[in-house]
Structure 1
Amino acid sequence: MLNPTRLEFARTRRGWTKTRLARELGVQPRSIQGYESNEYAPEQDKLEKISELLMFPIEFFYGGDVPLIAENTASFRSMSKMSATLKNTAFGMGSIAFMLNDWIEARFNLPEADLPDLSDLSPEDAAATLRRMWGLGEGPIRNLIHLLESRGVRVYSLAIEAKEVDAFSVWHKNCPFVFLNTFKSAEHSRFDAAHELGHLVRDRHSMLHGEVHSPEMEREANAFASAFLMPRQNVIAHKPVFPGIPQLINIKKYFGVSLAALAYRMNQLQLLTEWTYRNLCIQIAKKGYRTKEPEPMLPETSQVLAKVFSQLRQEGVGRVEVARQLDVFVTEIDNLTFGLTLSGVTSGGVSESKYTTSVSRVPLLQIVK
């Protein structure tokens, strides 16, 4: 039976209004309302056209309800700056990620969530406590995505070329998810990931109960990310004698953060005079280092997704087949893994024709920090 909620989901996933879909379909907007409210179903030719316009297979519209993300349960960094269209697009990607994750977890044993509740601690203390609990010491975190995955966080991509979209996190079935804009620099993406980790360990109650996401929560998540990536004592130990741009570039490469984030952290820890900090900010802006990072680090990739798709390939299951079993097109899978897996994992080639209906269960994926 046709599921009208999937019609609405497909439309909002593509960022389309009812008016636009009606115009492209050659019907009145009231007809779209009728389709989505289950007053009546679209004729077969109209459904085929909807499938073509919204880029979902016809089979998709006959599935069960899609797991949706309520706005106040997600921690978007720039929620106030985002249009409803962008939010719907991002949340739609999240919903499909839930479906993909369920598919993967039915076939693989992934690490279970290991995130403590640190809501009673300040951002600085929470960052230090989490580092201590995870045995990280004061050293730099070499690969943050690998670390998150080893602690049960599911990391997916937001393949959206929009500066308003940074990242967001959400809890689903007691499992933490982080979505990163992989079009951004590796340094900024790492900070976004640490920011979302701050929400997951300090704002879990608010996220689960749909409480309003406040600007103060965003500031505190930024403070957590700064302290988590740049521990106080280690930053103090690396204080340069002459804090200029060249010296800070070497230090920022050590911590894996942006030049601006390092300067801010050093100023916060009173390692810079106000004059020196202002001068550094001016130089960073003039050199264009706020948008293009000097001596950038390589992007981080997902260890879990790489191992999953590698194992599937060995069993003759490509991304096209995964998409077919989820009743979506392969572009949805590619978007969720964009920038997180090597290009060699993408669909295509002879192996994609070897469709199977099931995948044997494999041992627990061992994730290295």
Structure 2
Amino acid sequence: MFNAERLKIARQRRKLSGKKLADLAGITPVTVSKIENGHQPESYVVERLSNALRYPREFFFLVSPDVLDADTVSFRSLKKMGAAERDASLAAGSLGIALYDWIDARFNLPRPDLIDLSKERTRPESAARLLRQHWSLGERPIGNVLKLLESKGVRILSLSENTSNVDAYSFWRNDRPYIFLNQEKTAERSVFDSAHELAHLVLHHHAGAKSDRDAESQADQFASAFLMPEADVLNAAAHISTANQIVAKKSRWKVSAMALAYRLHKLDVLSDWNHRSICIELGKMGYRSGEPLGIDRETSTVLAKVLTVLWGKRLTKRDIARDLAVPLEEIETLIFGLTDPAPIPARGGSLSLANK
């Protein structure tokens, strides 16, 4: 039976309105509307829709996918985001869930090890300290944030939406936490986004960011404290008073120059006047819109290991795409553009082939 929800997902991934899809497929907008409302299309119509959307025909006849509700997803830039951008990102989330269901059926992945502070009204800085304590991180900088989160059971996938309006988002599904990161951002911004979304998972849990008008501010405060713990910042950067010093030191915590300046201001290392002056100078140096001296981008360790193990079994990304009946480009978009075989050796750790 043709699945209307899958037609919506494919249309949303292509950022097409019903009318535009109808034009591309050579059918009427009324026909598209009827199909999305459950009317079973004729075979030639299915073929036209498949060709117009560049999705395999089989995709539209699989079981209903997980459909994400925008009210339970922690979009960061909802006010800037158009409906098409929002829907495309949510549709990517549905495909990401399907991808991880495929992986979960074949691999033993780390179990989620987060804390739920959604009912505690815990201050963001205190929440960051509590999670650091829970994970025995102490006050040291985190070497690889994505690797840490994945080791704690967070499913991390990438977005390549070709827009600056989509930063990142997160949600819980079947007690498994997910984070999606837009690769259009700088590497430093992506690290901060991952910590920001971690805050939503810990502080707001299943409620989504809309549950509290201050949720975004809380997540930023959490991310700043989680990435740049107070004791370490004061020990390593209490002497900083210039923009050049910030640029030289920011790589210690893998954050942007502006994020470090803000953290130093909040910790009273920088006065109001000094903070403003440094931000102006950083802006002139190009650090307001980017990171001229940037770090290497983090990527998924789990997905890299999965690809390596699959390569040893003569399986590739194309096999995953075929099993899920999605275009190969959708898989590549979700897995940080990792190649076959992945460069990370699949040995050690808690990732192994399941005996199924």
Bucket of the pairwise TM-score, normalised by the shorter protein:
over 0.9
Residues 1:197 and 1:124: Cα distance change in structure 2 (over 3 Å): same
Q: Residues of 1 paired with 2:239 and 2:206: CA distance? A: 44
1:173 paired residue number: 174
Residues 1:248 and 1:315: Cα distance change in structure 2 (over 3 Å): same
Q: Residues of 2 paired with 1:242 and 1:307: CA distance? A: 40
SS class of match (1:170): strand
CA-CA distance at 1:180 after TM superposition = 0.5
2:146–2:298 Cα contact (<8 Å) kept: yes
- Aligned partner letter, 2:197: E
CA-CA distance at 1:44 after TM superposition = 2.1
Q: Residues of 2 paired with 1:334 and 1:131: CA distance? A: 32
Deviations 1:127-146 (A, max 9, x none): 01111110111110000000
Q: Residues of 2 paired with 1:117 and 1:363: CA distance? A: 25
1:83-232 equivalent positions in 2, closer than 5 A: 83-119=82-118, 120=120, 121-207=122-208, 212-232=210-230
Instruction: List runs of 5+ in structure 1 lacking aligned partners.
Output: 347-361
CA-CA distance at 1:240 after TM superposition = 4.5
1:358 paired residue number: none
Q: Residues of 2 paired with 1:146 and 1:293: CA distance? A: 22
CA-CA distance at 1:34 after TM superposition = 1.3
Q: Residues of 1 paired with 2:222 and 2:304: CA distance? A: 29
1:350 paired residue number: none
2:308–2:340 Cα contact (<8 Å) kept: no
2:99–2:324 Cα contact (<8 Å) kept: yes
Residues 1:15 and 1:365: Cα distance change in structure 2 (over 3 Å): same
- Tell me the number of residue pairs that the alignment of Structure 1 and Structure 2 aligns: 345
1:349 paired residue number: none
Q: Residues of 2 paired with 1:153 and 1:48: CA distance? A: 38
CA-CA distance at 1:52 after TM superposition = 1.3
Residues 1:32 and 1:205: Cα distance change in structure 2 (over 3 Å): closer
Residues 1:105 and 1:71: Cα distance change in structure 2 (over 3 Å): same
1:8 paired residue number: 8
CA-CA distance at 1:9 after TM superposition = 2.1
Using structure 1 for the length normalisation, give the TM-score.
0.90
SS class of match (1:157): strand
Q: Residues of 2 paired with 1:216 and 1:335: CA distance? A: 31
Q: Residues of 1 paired with 2:218 and 2:263: CA distance? A: 14
CA-CA distance at 1:333 after TM superposition = 0.6
1:19 paired residue number: 19
1:12–1:92 Cα contact (<8 Å) kept: yes
CA-CA distance at 1:75 after TM superposition = 0.3
CA-CA distance at 1:299 after TM superposition = 0.7
1:298 paired residue number: 296
2:306 paired residue number: 308
CA-CA distance at 1:213 after TM superposition = 4.4
1:72 paired residue number: 71
1:108–1:363 Cα contact (<8 Å) kept: no
2:73–2:171 Cα contact (<8 Å) kept: yes
Residues 1:303 and 1:215: Cα distance change in structure 2 (over 3 Å): same
Residue 37 (structure 2) pairs with residue 31 (structure 1):
no
2:322 paired residue number: 324
1:245 paired residue number: 243
Q: Residues of 1 paired with 2:282 and 2:230: CA distance? A: 23
2:311–2:340 Cα contact (<8 Å) kept: no
1:49 paired residue number: 48
Q: Residues of 2 paired with 1:249 and 1:286: CA distance? A: 13
Percent identity among equivalent residues?
Answer: 41
1:81 paired residue number: 80
- Aligned partner letter, 2:93: G
Q: Residues of 2 paired with 1:54 and 1:248: CA distance? A: 48
Two-structure CA RMSD over aligned residues (Å): 1.7
1:110–1:364 Cα contact (<8 Å) kept: yes
Deviations 1:221-257 (A, max 9, x none): 0000000000111111123435112211222111111
Q: Residues of 1 paired with 2:182 and 2:28: CA distance? A: 36
- Aligned partner letter, 2:16: W
Q: Residues of 2 paired with 1:344 and 1:246: CA distance? A: 40
2:158–2:334 Cα contact (<8 Å) kept: yes
- Aligned partner letter, 2:21: L
Deviations 1:39-92 (A, max 9, x none): 3x3332221121111121000111110111001110010112111100111011
SS class of match (1:114): coil
1:111–1:151 Cα contact (<8 Å) kept: yes
Q: Residues of 1 paired with 2:73 and 2:127: CA distance? A: 20
Q: Residues of 1 paired with 2:106 and 2:239: CA distance? A: 54
SS class of match (1:80): coil
SS class of match (1:177): strand
Using structure 2 for the length normalisation, give the TM-score.
0.93
Range with bigger deviation, 299-308 or 27-36 = 27-36
